[in-house]
Each structure stands twice: as C-alpha cells, then as structure tokens.
C-alpha cells in the first residue's frame, strides 16, 4: 500500500527535533513510524503519522521545511525470516531500495515496514502480488 510520508529538514542543532515533535503534539498528530537520516550538517526526519495533511500544514506554518513523499507500507509475518522474504521479492524484481525503516503496527503477529524505492508504483504492485502489500490502513494511520 502506498502511504504518505512527511519529510522534514532538520538543522543539526540542539532542540530542533523536540521543537518539531512539539508542534505535532500540539496539533494532536500521532506518530506511527519515524526515522532520522543524519549527516554532519543536517538531518532528514521521516515520519508516518495519522493525519499527514494536518501535520504538513502545522509544520509549514511554523516555518519548518516539509515535503510529502509517497512510500510503500509492507506487511509481513512477525517471524524469523519475515523481512528477508519481503526483501527477496524486491531484489528478485531488480528494485533498489533508497531507505527503509520499521513501523509500529497495531495487529499482533504482523510486522510493518516502510520502504522507499525508485519506481514506487511498480514496486507496490509487485509487493501486493506477492502478498506483502495489502495493509489495512487502520494499521498504519490508526484510524
């Protein structure tokens, strides 16, 4: 399933992350997944939240640089080899992953991952065909 991810530019300065999560809290936005890519100068905070539009608006209003990116939510069995199986499908189909991170799911027995690939639509189609892509939106957006 293709979902909306919020990417935020974070200058490498004390207190920046707290300021961003504060804004989300004030706007009653719930975070399901989060990852931080960092360099010596800056970071990119990637978030999956229950209300992406609300989050984007609130952050932009606060002067934070935000972008919404399409990523794929992948569901798999929460057993040894679960991730390996999903990634094998990706790799067998010659799709390269730009980044990925784990997501907090609400169901038991299933694990959720967020992945970003080059051709999002094709990758999602292939994952769905192999049983990794059909995610109940409620798992992610926590509706």
The overall longest dimension of the chain from CA atoms, in Å, is: 44
> Which positions from 63 to 102 touch another protein by CB under 8 A, shown as an x/- string?
xxxxx-x----------------------------xx---
Least distance in angstroms from the C-beta of 142 to another protein: 23
Q: Does 9 bind another protein (CB under 8 A)?
A: yes
Residues with Cβ within 8 Å of 128's Cβ and at least 6 positions away in sequence, in order, are 1, 134
Structure tokens at 108: 């038991």
Tell me the site size for another protein, rule CB under 8 A.
22
Residue 31's region, left for phi above 0, alpha for psi from -120 to 50, else beta, is beta
Q: Cβ distance 37 to 47 under 8 Å?
A: no
- How far is the C-alpha of 67 from the C-alpha of 52, rounded, in Å? 10
- What is the residue whose two structure tokens read 């639509």? 121
Near another protein by CB under 8 A: residue from 4, 16, 51, 142: 16
> Of how many residues is the chain composed?
143
Least distance in angstroms from the C-beta of 112 to another protein: 20
What are the φ/ψ torsions at residue 121 (nearest 5 degrees)?
-65, -45
Near another protein by CB under 8 A: residue from 1, 46, 100, 115: 46
Q: Which is nearer to another protein, 39 or 108 (CB)?
A: 39
Q: Does 39 bind another protein (CB under 8 A)?
A: yes
Least distance in angstroms from the C-beta of 138 to another protein: 25
- Return residues touching another protein (CB under 8 A): 5, 7, 9-11, 13, 16, 37, 39, 41-42, 44, 46, 63-67, 69, 98-99, 116
């Amino acid at each position: 399933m293709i979902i909306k991810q919020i990417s935020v530019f974070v200058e490498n300065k004390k207190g920046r992350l707290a300021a961003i999560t504060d804004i989300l809290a004030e706007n009653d936005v719930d975070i399901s997944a989060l990852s931080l890519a960092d360099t010596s100068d800056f970071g990119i905070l990637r978030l999956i939240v229950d209300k992406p539009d609300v989050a984007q608006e609130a952050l932009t209003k606060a002067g934070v640089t935000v972008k919404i990116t399409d990523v794929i939510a992948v569901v798999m069995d929460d057993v040894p080899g679960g991730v390996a199986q999903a990634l094998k499908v990706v790799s067998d189909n010659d799709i390269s992953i730009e980044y990925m991170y784990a997501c907090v799911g609400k169901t038991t027995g299933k694990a959720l991952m967020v992945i970003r690939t080059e051709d999002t639509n094709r990758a999602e189609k292939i994952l769905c065909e192999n049983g990794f892509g059909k995610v109940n939106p409620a798992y992610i957006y926590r509706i």
